Structure 1
Amino acid sequence: MVDAAQKEQLIFVTQKSLRMNRKKHFSESRCLQLFAEILTVDSGLKPAFLFDYCLSNAEQIQEYVQELQQTGLLSENLHILSMQENVLIINLNRIIQHLERALQENGVQVIDVSVHRENPQLAETWVTKQVRAQVDIIWKHLKSQVIQTGESKPGLVTASEIFSSEWNLCTMFGFLLGFPASYWFDFNTSFENCLSMTPLRAFSVSAFCPRITKNLKHRMYSFSVPDILYLDLQSAIKTWQRELQSDFQTQTMFSHLCVSTESVCLSAVML
Protein backbone atom coordinates (compact mmCIF):
# COMPACT_ATOMS: atom_id res chain seq x y z
CA MET A 1 0.00 0.00 0.00
CA VAL A 2 1.34 3.44 -0.93
CA ASP A 3 1.54 5.44 2.29
CA ALA A 4 0.41 9.05 2.53
CA ALA A 5 3.91 10.43 1.95
CA GLN A 6 4.48 8.25 -1.15
CA LYS A 7 1.04 9.13 -2.51
CA GLU A 8 1.79 12.82 -2.08
CA GLN A 9 5.16 12.32 -3.77
CA LEU A 10 3.55 10.40 -6.65
CA ILE A 11 1.03 13.17 -7.28
CA PHE A 12 3.75 15.82 -7.03
CA VAL A 13 6.00 14.03 -9.54
CA THR A 14 3.12 13.57 -12.01
CA GLN A 15 1.83 17.12 -11.79
CA LYS A 16 5.36 18.52 -12.04
CA SER A 17 6.30 16.40 -15.07
CA LEU A 18 3.06 16.26 -17.05
CA ARG A 19 0.22 18.61 -17.91
CA MET A 20 -3.10 18.16 -19.69
CA ASN A 21 -2.26 21.42 -21.48
CA ARG A 22 -0.23 24.54 -20.74
CA LYS A 23 -2.44 25.59 -17.85
CA LYS A 24 -4.15 22.47 -16.56
CA HIS A 25 -2.46 20.04 -14.17
CA PHE A 26 -3.37 16.38 -13.80
CA SER A 27 -6.05 15.84 -11.16
CA GLU A 28 -5.22 13.62 -8.18
CA SER A 29 -7.45 10.81 -9.51
CA ARG A 30 -5.81 11.01 -12.94
CA CYS A 31 -2.34 10.83 -11.36
CA LEU A 32 -3.34 7.62 -9.57
CA GLN A 33 -4.99 6.18 -12.67
CA LEU A 34 -1.86 6.78 -14.74
CA PHE A 35 0.31 5.21 -12.06
CA ALA A 36 -1.96 2.14 -12.07
CA GLU A 37 -1.42 1.86 -15.85
CA ILE A 38 2.35 1.91 -15.38
CA LEU A 39 2.16 -0.44 -12.40
CA THR A 40 0.30 -2.96 -14.59
CA VAL A 41 3.29 -2.96 -16.95
CA ASP A 42 5.84 -2.95 -14.12
CA SER A 43 4.18 -5.97 -12.50
CA GLY A 44 4.22 -7.90 -15.80
CA LEU A 45 0.45 -8.15 -16.27
CA LYS A 46 0.71 -6.50 -19.67
CA PRO A 47 3.78 -5.99 -21.85
CA ALA A 48 3.21 -2.34 -22.72
CA PHE A 49 1.00 0.69 -22.22
CA LEU A 50 0.22 3.20 -24.99
CA PHE A 51 0.59 6.62 -23.38
CA ASP A 52 -2.44 8.66 -24.39
CA TYR A 53 -3.02 10.82 -21.32
CA CYS A 54 -1.62 14.03 -22.76
CA LEU A 55 0.60 15.33 -25.55
CA SER A 56 3.90 14.93 -23.70
CA ASN A 57 6.82 13.85 -25.86
CA ALA A 58 8.98 10.78 -25.35
CA GLU A 59 11.70 12.67 -23.47
CA GLN A 60 9.20 14.13 -20.98
CA ILE A 61 7.61 10.72 -20.41
CA GLN A 62 11.03 9.13 -19.94
CA GLU A 63 11.94 11.73 -17.31
CA TYR A 64 8.59 11.18 -15.58
CA VAL A 65 9.01 7.38 -15.40
CA GLN A 66 12.61 7.84 -14.27
CA GLU A 67 11.41 9.98 -11.38
CA LEU A 68 8.86 7.30 -10.46
CA GLN A 69 11.70 4.78 -10.44
CA GLN A 70 13.68 6.96 -8.05
CA THR A 71 10.78 7.06 -5.58
CA GLY A 72 11.01 3.28 -5.24
CA LEU A 73 7.43 2.79 -6.46
CA LEU A 74 8.53 0.70 -9.46
CA SER A 75 10.78 -2.35 -9.59
CA GLU A 76 11.42 -3.24 -13.25
CA ASN A 77 13.63 -1.66 -15.90
CA LEU A 78 11.09 0.08 -18.11
CA HIS A 79 11.64 1.32 -21.65
CA ILE A 80 10.11 4.19 -23.61
CA LEU A 81 9.45 3.23 -27.23
CA SER A 82 8.57 5.90 -29.79
CA MET A 83 6.70 4.87 -32.93
CA GLN A 84 6.12 7.90 -35.12
CA GLU A 85 4.29 10.29 -32.74
CA ASN A 86 3.14 7.53 -30.40
CA VAL A 87 4.84 6.58 -27.14
CA LEU A 88 4.67 3.25 -25.33
CA ILE A 89 5.91 2.42 -21.84
CA ILE A 90 7.29 -1.10 -22.03
CA ASN A 91 8.39 -3.84 -19.66
CA LEU A 92 11.30 -5.07 -21.75
CA ASN A 93 11.62 -8.56 -20.29
CA ARG A 94 7.87 -9.16 -20.43
CA ILE A 95 7.42 -7.95 -23.99
CA ILE A 96 10.38 -9.97 -25.28
CA GLN A 97 8.81 -13.13 -23.86
CA HIS A 98 5.39 -12.17 -25.25
CA LEU A 99 6.57 -11.47 -28.81
CA GLU A 100 8.95 -14.42 -28.81
CA ARG A 101 6.14 -16.78 -27.84
CA ALA A 102 3.85 -15.33 -30.52
CA LEU A 103 6.50 -15.77 -33.20
CA GLN A 104 7.57 -19.27 -32.15
CA GLU A 105 4.10 -20.67 -31.60
CA ASN A 106 2.62 -19.12 -34.74
CA GLY A 107 0.49 -16.95 -32.49
CA VAL A 108 0.20 -14.03 -34.91
CA GLN A 109 -3.60 -13.83 -35.11
CA VAL A 110 -4.64 -11.11 -37.57
CA ILE A 111 -8.18 -9.99 -38.44
CA ASP A 112 -8.68 -8.26 -41.79
CA VAL A 113 -11.23 -5.45 -41.42
CA SER A 114 -10.45 -3.57 -44.65
CA VAL A 115 -13.34 -1.35 -45.66
CA HIS A 116 -14.02 -3.23 -48.91
CA ARG A 117 -14.77 -6.43 -46.95
CA GLU A 118 -18.43 -7.32 -46.54
CA ASN A 119 -17.51 -8.94 -43.21
CA PRO A 120 -14.32 -9.20 -41.16
CA GLN A 121 -12.24 -12.28 -41.92
CA LEU A 122 -9.01 -13.88 -40.81
CA ALA A 123 -6.19 -12.30 -42.78
CA GLU A 124 -4.86 -14.02 -45.87
CA THR A 125 -1.54 -15.83 -45.62
CA TRP A 126 0.44 -13.04 -47.31
CA VAL A 127 -0.86 -10.50 -44.78
CA THR A 128 -0.05 -12.74 -41.82
CA LYS A 129 3.47 -13.37 -43.16
CA GLN A 130 3.99 -9.64 -43.65
CA VAL A 131 2.79 -8.82 -40.14
CA ARG A 132 4.89 -11.62 -38.69
CA ALA A 133 8.01 -10.21 -40.36
CA GLN A 134 7.21 -6.75 -38.98
CA VAL A 135 6.67 -8.09 -35.46
CA ASP A 136 10.00 -9.91 -35.79
CA ILE A 137 11.75 -6.61 -36.59
CA ILE A 138 10.31 -4.98 -33.47
CA TRP A 139 11.16 -8.03 -31.36
CA LYS A 140 14.80 -7.91 -32.51
CA HIS A 141 14.94 -4.17 -31.85
CA LEU A 142 13.61 -4.57 -28.32
CA LYS A 143 15.88 -7.55 -27.68
CA SER A 144 18.86 -5.34 -28.51
CA GLN A 145 17.57 -2.86 -25.91
CA VAL A 146 17.48 -5.64 -23.30
CA ILE A 147 21.18 -6.29 -23.93
CA GLN A 148 21.97 -2.59 -23.58
CA THR A 149 19.84 -2.32 -20.43
CA GLY A 150 21.68 -5.26 -18.92
CA GLU A 151 24.86 -3.26 -19.17
CA SER A 152 23.30 -0.25 -17.45
CA LYS A 153 22.68 0.38 -13.78
CA PRO A 154 19.43 -1.01 -12.31
CA GLY A 155 16.41 1.30 -12.37
CA LEU A 156 17.48 3.15 -15.51
CA VAL A 157 14.62 4.06 -17.85
CA THR A 158 15.89 3.65 -21.40
CA ALA A 159 14.38 4.89 -24.66
CA SER A 160 14.51 4.12 -28.37
CA GLU A 161 12.62 4.79 -31.57
CA ILE A 162 11.49 2.54 -34.39
CA PHE A 163 9.06 3.03 -37.26
CA SER A 164 8.39 2.01 -40.84
CA SER A 165 5.87 3.61 -43.19
CA GLU A 166 4.93 0.08 -44.28
CA TRP A 167 3.57 -0.77 -40.84
CA ASN A 168 -0.08 -0.62 -39.88
CA LEU A 169 0.35 0.84 -36.39
CA CYS A 170 -3.08 -0.39 -35.31
CA THR A 171 -1.87 -3.94 -35.97
CA MET A 172 1.51 -3.41 -34.30
CA PHE A 173 -0.09 -1.90 -31.21
CA GLY A 174 -2.38 -4.90 -30.92
CA PHE A 175 0.65 -7.17 -30.54
CA LEU A 176 2.67 -4.81 -28.35
CA LEU A 177 -0.23 -4.27 -25.96
CA GLY A 178 -0.69 -8.01 -25.52
CA PHE A 179 -4.02 -8.62 -27.25
CA PRO A 180 -4.71 -12.21 -28.41
CA ALA A 181 -5.63 -10.95 -31.89
CA SER A 182 -4.98 -7.75 -33.80
CA TYR A 183 -6.94 -5.83 -36.43
CA TRP A 184 -5.44 -5.11 -39.85
CA PHE A 185 -6.68 -3.08 -42.80
CA ASP A 186 -5.15 -1.99 -46.08
CA PHE A 187 -4.33 1.62 -45.20
CA ASN A 188 -2.98 2.22 -48.71
CA THR A 189 -6.59 2.04 -49.84
CA SER A 190 -8.43 3.53 -46.86
CA PHE A 191 -8.14 4.06 -43.12
CA GLU A 192 -11.82 3.13 -42.75
CA ASN A 193 -12.90 -0.36 -41.69
CA CYS A 194 -15.85 -2.72 -42.14
CA LEU A 195 -16.78 -2.99 -38.45
CA SER A 196 -19.71 -0.57 -38.58
CA MET A 197 -22.82 -2.34 -37.18
CA THR A 198 -20.85 -5.59 -37.02
CA PRO A 199 -21.60 -7.68 -33.90
CA LEU A 200 -18.46 -7.70 -31.74
CA ARG A 201 -17.50 -9.65 -28.67
CA ALA A 202 -15.88 -7.09 -26.39
CA PHE A 203 -13.53 -8.20 -23.62
CA SER A 204 -12.60 -6.20 -20.54
CA VAL A 205 -10.09 -7.14 -17.84
CA SER A 206 -10.00 -5.31 -14.53
CA ALA A 207 -8.65 -5.72 -11.01
CA PHE A 208 -8.38 -3.80 -7.77
CA CYS A 209 -5.12 -2.02 -6.99
CA PRO A 210 -4.86 -2.01 -3.19
CA ARG A 211 -1.33 -0.64 -3.35
CA ILE A 212 -2.83 2.70 -4.42
CA THR A 213 -6.26 2.58 -2.80
CA LYS A 214 -8.67 -0.15 -1.75
CA ASN A 215 -11.42 1.31 -3.91
CA LEU A 216 -9.54 1.71 -7.22
CA LYS A 217 -10.65 -0.85 -9.79
CA HIS A 218 -8.32 -0.55 -12.75
CA ARG A 219 -9.12 -1.72 -16.29
CA MET A 220 -6.04 -3.44 -17.70
CA TYR A 221 -7.29 -4.64 -21.07
CA SER A 222 -10.08 -3.72 -23.44
CA PHE A 223 -10.34 -5.28 -26.90
CA SER A 224 -12.85 -6.92 -29.21
CA VAL A 225 -13.13 -9.61 -31.85
CA PRO A 226 -15.93 -9.99 -34.41
CA ASP A 227 -18.58 -12.47 -33.30
CA ILE A 228 -18.41 -14.11 -36.70
CA LEU A 229 -14.76 -15.09 -36.02
CA TYR A 230 -15.01 -15.92 -32.32
CA LEU A 231 -14.94 -19.70 -32.80
CA ASP A 232 -11.83 -19.39 -34.99
CA LEU A 233 -10.10 -17.30 -32.33
CA GLN A 234 -11.48 -19.05 -29.26
CA SER A 235 -8.37 -21.18 -28.71
CA ALA A 236 -6.05 -18.15 -28.89
CA ILE A 237 -8.28 -16.19 -26.51
CA LYS A 238 -8.42 -19.04 -24.00
CA THR A 239 -4.62 -19.38 -24.12
CA TRP A 240 -4.27 -15.63 -23.58
CA GLN A 241 -6.66 -15.74 -20.62
CA ARG A 242 -4.90 -18.74 -19.07
CA GLU A 243 -1.51 -17.00 -19.33
CA LEU A 244 -2.95 -13.81 -17.85
CA GLN A 245 -4.35 -15.71 -14.89
CA SER A 246 -0.98 -17.43 -14.40
CA ASP A 247 0.85 -14.07 -14.46
CA PHE A 248 -1.70 -12.67 -12.03
CA GLN A 249 -0.88 -15.36 -9.48
CA THR A 250 2.81 -14.38 -9.45
CA GLN A 251 2.32 -10.70 -8.55
CA THR A 252 1.03 -8.86 -5.48
CA MET A 253 0.14 -5.38 -6.77
CA PHE A 254 -3.39 -6.20 -8.00
CA SER A 255 -6.19 -8.37 -6.62
CA HIS A 256 -9.55 -9.82 -7.68
CA LEU A 257 -8.96 -10.29 -11.39
CA CYS A 258 -12.17 -10.01 -13.43
CA VAL A 259 -12.49 -10.94 -17.12
CA SER A 260 -15.84 -9.95 -18.59
CA THR A 261 -17.33 -10.06 -22.07
CA GLU A 262 -20.36 -8.57 -23.77
CA SER A 263 -21.79 -8.34 -27.26
CA VAL A 264 -21.80 -4.88 -28.81
CA CYS A 265 -22.78 -3.42 -32.16
CA LEU A 266 -21.55 0.09 -32.92
CA SER A 267 -22.32 2.49 -35.75
CA ALA A 268 -18.61 3.32 -36.02
CA VAL A 269 -15.47 1.68 -34.63
CA MET A 270 -12.28 3.70 -34.36
CA LEU A 271 -9.07 1.65 -34.55
Structure 2
Amino acid sequence: LSAPRLVAAAREELWSKAGKRRLPAARALQLCGEVLAVAAGLKPALLYDDSAAGPAELRRYLARLREAGLAPCRLHVLGMEGSVLLLNPGLARRRLEEVLRAHPAPFMDISAGRQHPALCGSAEAIKSHLAALLAHLRAAETVASGPVSSSEVVPTGWNLCSMAGVLLGYPAVYTFSMEEDGENCLAMMPLRVFTVQASCCRIKDGLRVQVYSFSIPESLCTELKEVLDAWWDDLKDAFSAQSDFVDLGISSEVVSLPAVAL
Protein backbone atom coordinates (compact mmCIF):
# COMPACT_ATOMS: atom_id res chain seq x y z
CA LEU A 1 0.00 0.00 0.00
CA SER A 2 1.11 3.56 -0.71
CA ALA A 3 0.86 5.68 2.44
CA PRO A 4 0.93 8.96 0.43
CA ARG A 5 -2.07 7.77 -1.62
CA LEU A 6 -3.98 6.90 1.54
CA VAL A 7 -3.24 10.32 3.03
CA ALA A 8 -4.27 12.07 -0.19
CA ALA A 9 -7.55 10.15 -0.28
CA ALA A 10 -8.52 11.40 3.18
CA ARG A 11 -7.43 14.98 2.54
CA GLU A 12 -9.14 15.29 -0.84
CA GLU A 13 -12.40 13.46 -0.12
CA LEU A 14 -13.00 14.22 3.57
CA TRP A 15 -11.23 17.52 4.18
CA SER A 16 -11.77 19.44 0.96
CA LYS A 17 -14.28 21.71 2.76
CA ALA A 18 -12.03 22.37 5.75
CA GLY A 19 -10.51 25.55 4.32
CA LYS A 20 -6.96 26.18 5.46
CA ARG A 21 -7.04 23.34 7.97
CA ARG A 22 -4.94 20.42 6.78
CA LEU A 23 -5.46 16.87 7.95
CA PRO A 24 -2.21 15.60 9.52
CA ALA A 25 -0.76 12.58 7.73
CA ALA A 26 -0.65 10.62 10.99
CA ARG A 27 -4.39 11.14 11.53
CA ALA A 28 -5.13 10.14 7.93
CA LEU A 29 -3.25 6.87 8.37
CA GLN A 30 -4.94 6.28 11.72
CA LEU A 31 -8.33 6.69 10.03
CA CYS A 32 -7.32 4.22 7.34
CA GLY A 33 -6.34 1.77 10.06
CA GLU A 34 -9.69 2.20 11.80
CA VAL A 35 -11.51 1.50 8.52
CA LEU A 36 -9.43 -1.64 8.11
CA ALA A 37 -10.22 -2.67 11.70
CA VAL A 38 -13.95 -2.48 10.90
CA ALA A 39 -13.45 -4.43 7.67
CA ALA A 40 -11.32 -7.04 9.46
CA GLY A 41 -14.06 -7.68 12.02
CA LEU A 42 -12.27 -6.20 15.04
CA LYS A 43 -15.04 -3.67 15.69
CA PRO A 44 -18.60 -3.33 14.39
CA ALA A 45 -18.33 0.32 13.40
CA LEU A 46 -16.46 3.58 13.58
CA LEU A 47 -17.92 7.04 14.09
CA TYR A 48 -16.53 9.57 11.64
CA ASP A 49 -16.53 13.08 13.12
CA ASP A 50 -13.19 14.57 12.08
CA SER A 51 -14.66 17.03 9.57
CA ALA A 52 -17.90 18.18 8.01
CA ALA A 53 -17.87 15.28 5.56
CA GLY A 54 -21.14 13.38 5.20
CA PRO A 55 -22.13 9.96 3.86
CA ALA A 56 -21.42 10.85 0.21
CA GLU A 57 -17.89 12.05 0.99
CA LEU A 58 -17.21 8.98 3.11
CA ARG A 59 -18.31 6.70 0.27
CA ARG A 60 -15.96 8.47 -2.14
CA TYR A 61 -13.15 8.10 0.40
CA LEU A 62 -13.78 4.36 0.67
CA ALA A 63 -13.69 4.08 -3.13
CA ARG A 64 -10.29 5.79 -3.10
CA LEU A 65 -9.02 3.32 -0.49
CA ARG A 66 -10.01 0.45 -2.77
CA GLU A 67 -8.22 2.10 -5.69
CA ALA A 68 -5.11 2.40 -3.52
CA GLY A 69 -5.12 -1.34 -2.90
CA LEU A 70 -7.07 -1.52 0.33
CA ALA A 71 -10.01 -3.69 -0.68
CA PRO A 72 -11.98 -4.48 2.47
CA CYS A 73 -15.18 -6.48 2.65
CA ARG A 74 -18.49 -4.79 1.91
CA LEU A 75 -19.19 -1.91 4.26
CA HIS A 76 -22.24 0.20 5.09
CA VAL A 77 -22.36 3.96 5.66
CA LEU A 78 -25.11 4.91 8.12
CA GLY A 79 -26.34 8.47 8.51
CA MET A 80 -28.00 9.17 11.85
CA GLU A 81 -29.13 12.72 12.64
CA GLY A 82 -25.96 14.39 11.43
CA SER A 83 -23.65 11.62 12.60
CA VAL A 84 -21.94 9.31 10.12
CA LEU A 85 -20.95 5.77 11.03
CA LEU A 86 -19.11 3.19 8.96
CA LEU A 87 -20.39 -0.31 9.69
CA ASN A 88 -19.30 -3.86 9.13
CA PRO A 89 -22.92 -4.87 8.35
CA GLY A 90 -22.86 -8.43 9.61
CA LEU A 91 -20.90 -7.63 12.75
CA ALA A 92 -23.06 -4.59 13.55
CA ARG A 93 -26.25 -6.65 13.30
CA ARG A 94 -24.78 -9.38 15.50
CA ARG A 95 -23.75 -6.79 18.09
CA LEU A 96 -27.28 -5.37 18.21
CA GLU A 97 -28.71 -8.87 18.56
CA GLU A 98 -26.31 -9.66 21.42
CA VAL A 99 -27.27 -6.54 23.37
CA LEU A 100 -30.98 -7.21 22.81
CA ARG A 101 -30.52 -10.71 24.27
CA ALA A 102 -28.33 -9.61 27.19
CA HIS A 103 -29.73 -9.89 30.73
CA PRO A 104 -28.94 -7.60 32.36
CA ALA A 105 -28.34 -5.22 29.48
CA PRO A 106 -24.89 -3.57 29.58
CA PHE A 107 -26.08 0.00 30.15
CA MET A 108 -24.71 2.43 32.75
CA ASP A 109 -27.08 5.15 33.95
CA ILE A 110 -25.16 8.42 34.32
CA SER A 111 -28.13 10.81 34.48
CA ALA A 112 -27.32 14.18 36.02
CA GLY A 113 -29.78 13.60 38.84
CA ARG A 114 -27.82 10.62 40.14
CA GLN A 115 -25.13 10.91 42.80
CA HIS A 116 -23.20 8.01 41.28
CA PRO A 117 -23.36 5.97 38.06
CA ALA A 118 -25.29 2.70 38.30
CA LEU A 119 -26.15 -0.22 36.09
CA CYS A 120 -29.61 0.12 34.56
CA GLY A 121 -32.28 -1.96 36.21
CA SER A 122 -34.43 -1.75 33.09
CA ALA A 123 -33.48 -0.78 29.57
CA GLU A 124 -36.68 -1.53 27.69
CA ALA A 125 -36.89 1.89 26.03
CA ILE A 126 -33.32 1.65 24.75
CA LYS A 127 -33.89 -1.92 23.60
CA SER A 128 -36.94 -0.90 21.60
CA HIS A 129 -34.80 1.67 19.78
CA LEU A 130 -32.06 -0.91 19.21
CA ALA A 131 -34.66 -3.27 17.76
CA ALA A 132 -35.81 -0.52 15.39
CA LEU A 133 -32.22 0.10 14.30
CA LEU A 134 -31.68 -3.62 13.77
CA ALA A 135 -34.80 -3.76 11.59
CA HIS A 136 -33.48 -0.80 9.59
CA LEU A 137 -30.11 -2.48 8.99
CA ARG A 138 -31.76 -5.75 7.99
CA ALA A 139 -33.95 -3.90 5.49
CA ALA A 140 -30.93 -2.01 4.14
CA GLU A 141 -29.10 -5.30 3.67
CA THR A 142 -31.84 -6.68 1.43
CA VAL A 143 -31.34 -3.89 -1.12
CA ALA A 144 -27.58 -3.41 -0.72
CA SER A 145 -25.33 -3.74 -3.74
CA GLY A 146 -21.73 -2.95 -4.53
CA PRO A 147 -18.80 -2.78 -2.12
CA VAL A 148 -20.27 0.11 -0.09
CA SER A 149 -23.96 0.58 0.69
CA SER A 150 -25.56 3.43 2.59
CA SER A 151 -28.76 4.39 4.35
CA GLU A 152 -30.19 7.10 6.58
CA VAL A 153 -32.11 6.35 9.75
CA VAL A 154 -34.43 8.82 11.51
CA PRO A 155 -33.74 8.35 15.25
CA THR A 156 -36.98 9.66 16.75
CA GLY A 157 -36.53 9.96 20.51
CA TRP A 158 -33.34 7.89 20.50
CA ASN A 159 -30.44 8.42 22.87
CA LEU A 160 -27.77 8.72 20.18
CA CYS A 161 -24.94 8.34 22.70
CA SER A 162 -26.26 4.94 23.74
CA MET A 163 -27.04 3.82 20.20
CA ALA A 164 -23.59 4.79 18.96
CA GLY A 165 -21.92 3.09 21.92
CA VAL A 166 -23.62 -0.19 21.06
CA LEU A 167 -22.72 0.07 17.37
CA LEU A 168 -19.11 0.92 18.22
CA GLY A 169 -18.86 -2.36 20.11
CA TYR A 170 -18.24 -1.05 23.62
CA PRO A 171 -18.72 -3.74 26.28
CA ALA A 172 -20.83 -1.38 28.41
CA VAL A 173 -22.58 1.76 27.25
CA TYR A 174 -23.59 5.02 28.89
CA THR A 175 -27.19 6.15 28.98
CA PHE A 176 -28.94 9.07 30.65
CA SER A 177 -32.28 10.82 30.90
CA MET A 178 -33.18 12.45 27.60
CA GLU A 179 -34.84 15.26 29.55
CA GLU A 180 -31.49 16.48 30.88
CA ASP A 181 -29.99 17.64 27.55
CA GLY A 182 -27.03 15.30 27.76
CA GLU A 183 -25.98 16.37 31.25
CA ASN A 184 -24.42 13.61 33.34
CA CYS A 185 -22.99 12.82 36.76
CA LEU A 186 -19.44 12.00 35.61
CA ALA A 187 -17.76 15.28 36.63
CA MET A 188 -14.76 14.47 38.88
CA MET A 189 -15.88 10.85 38.94
CA PRO A 190 -12.96 8.38 38.65
CA LEU A 191 -13.23 6.78 35.21
CA ARG A 192 -11.16 3.86 33.99
CA VAL A 193 -10.26 4.55 30.37
CA PHE A 194 -9.50 1.44 28.31
CA THR A 195 -7.44 1.71 25.13
CA VAL A 196 -6.94 -1.14 22.66
CA GLN A 197 -4.25 -0.86 19.99
CA ALA A 198 -2.75 -3.09 17.33
CA SER A 199 0.03 -2.75 14.75
CA CYS A 200 -0.74 -2.52 11.04
CA CYS A 201 2.42 -2.77 8.97
CA ARG A 202 0.25 -3.30 5.91
CA ILE A 203 -0.47 0.44 5.94
CA LYS A 204 2.88 1.63 7.30
CA ASP A 205 5.74 0.06 9.22
CA GLY A 206 5.40 0.78 12.92
CA LEU A 207 1.85 2.14 12.68
CA ARG A 208 -0.12 1.56 15.87
CA VAL A 209 -3.87 1.82 15.32
CA GLN A 210 -6.25 2.65 18.14
CA VAL A 211 -8.98 0.07 17.73
CA TYR A 212 -11.01 0.98 20.83
CA SER A 213 -11.12 3.69 23.46
CA PHE A 214 -13.90 3.81 26.04
CA SER A 215 -14.41 4.50 29.72
CA ILE A 216 -16.22 2.83 32.59
CA PRO A 217 -16.73 4.42 36.02
CA GLU A 218 -14.21 2.86 38.37
CA SER A 219 -17.03 2.18 40.83
CA LEU A 220 -18.70 -0.17 38.30
CA CYS A 221 -15.63 -2.09 37.14
CA THR A 222 -16.08 -4.91 39.65
CA GLU A 223 -19.74 -5.39 38.71
CA LEU A 224 -18.83 -5.39 35.03
CA LYS A 225 -15.75 -7.61 35.30
CA GLU A 226 -17.42 -10.64 33.68
CA VAL A 227 -18.75 -8.46 30.85
CA LEU A 228 -15.32 -6.93 30.26
CA ASP A 229 -13.55 -10.30 30.37
CA ALA A 230 -16.02 -11.83 27.89
CA TRP A 231 -15.65 -8.82 25.57
CA TRP A 232 -11.84 -9.11 25.65
CA ASP A 233 -11.99 -12.85 24.95
CA ASP A 234 -14.27 -12.23 21.96
CA LEU A 235 -11.92 -9.54 20.65
CA LYS A 236 -8.93 -11.87 20.93
CA ASP A 237 -10.85 -14.52 18.98
CA ALA A 238 -11.67 -11.99 16.25
CA PHE A 239 -8.03 -10.90 16.20
CA SER A 240 -6.87 -14.48 15.67
CA ALA A 241 -9.20 -14.80 12.67
CA GLN A 242 -7.67 -11.91 10.68
CA SER A 243 -4.26 -11.14 9.17
CA ASP A 244 -4.17 -7.35 8.75
CA PHE A 245 -3.10 -6.55 12.33
CA VAL A 246 -0.57 -7.94 14.79
CA ASP A 247 0.46 -7.28 18.40
CA LEU A 248 -2.92 -6.64 20.02
CA GLY A 249 -2.65 -4.87 23.36
CA ILE A 250 -4.92 -3.30 25.96
CA SER A 251 -4.11 -0.70 28.61
CA SER A 252 -6.11 1.30 31.12
CA GLU A 253 -5.73 4.31 33.37
CA VAL A 254 -7.96 6.10 35.85
CA VAL A 255 -8.80 9.75 35.18
CA SER A 256 -11.08 12.32 36.79
CA LEU A 257 -12.24 15.28 34.73
CA PRO A 258 -14.10 18.47 35.70
CA ALA A 259 -16.61 17.80 32.91
CA VAL A 260 -17.27 14.84 30.61
CA ALA A 261 -18.92 15.48 27.25
CA LEU A 262 -20.46 12.48 25.50
For Structure 1 versus Structure 2, the TM-score category normalised by the shorter chain is: over 0.9
Aligned length: 261
CA contact (8 A) 2:36 2:72 kept: no
Equivalent of residue 226 in structure 1, options 211, 217, 223: 217
> Match of 2:23?
26
Q: What is the root-mean-square deviation of aligned Cα atoms in Å?
A: 1.6
Equivalent of residue 11 in structure 2, options 15, 31, 49: 15
Q: Which aligned runs of 4 or more in structure 1 are off by greater than 4 angstroms?
A: none
- In 2: Cα distance, 1:107 partner to 1:217 partner: 34
- In 1: Cα distance, 2:69 partner to 2:21 partner: 27
> Match of 1:53?
50
Describe how 1:150-165 pairs up with structure 2 within 5 A.
152-153=145-146, 155=147, 157-165=148-156
If the length of structure 1 is used for normalisation, what is the TM-score? 0.91
Q: Deviations over 1:109-147 (max 9, x none)?
A: 11111111011111231xx11111111111111122222
- In 2: Cα distance, 1:204 partner to 1:12 partner: 28
For 1:148, give the aligned amino acid: V
> Match of 1:134?
129
> Match of 1:145?
140
> Match of 2:106?
109
- 1:57: how far off? 1.6
Q: Percent identity?
A: 34
Equivalent of residue 94 in structure 2, options 97, 122, 131: 97
Equivalent of residue 84 in structure 1, options 60, 81, 86: 81
CA contact (8 A) 1:199 1:264 kept: yes
> Match of 1:44?
41
- 1:107: how far off? 6.3
If the length of structure 2 is used for normalisation, what is the TM-score? 0.94
CA contact (8 A) 1:42 1:74 kept: no
Unaligned runs of 5+ in 1: none
SS of equivalent to 2:42? coil
SS of equivalent to 1:82? strand
- 1:10: how far off? 2.1
> Match of 1:240?
231
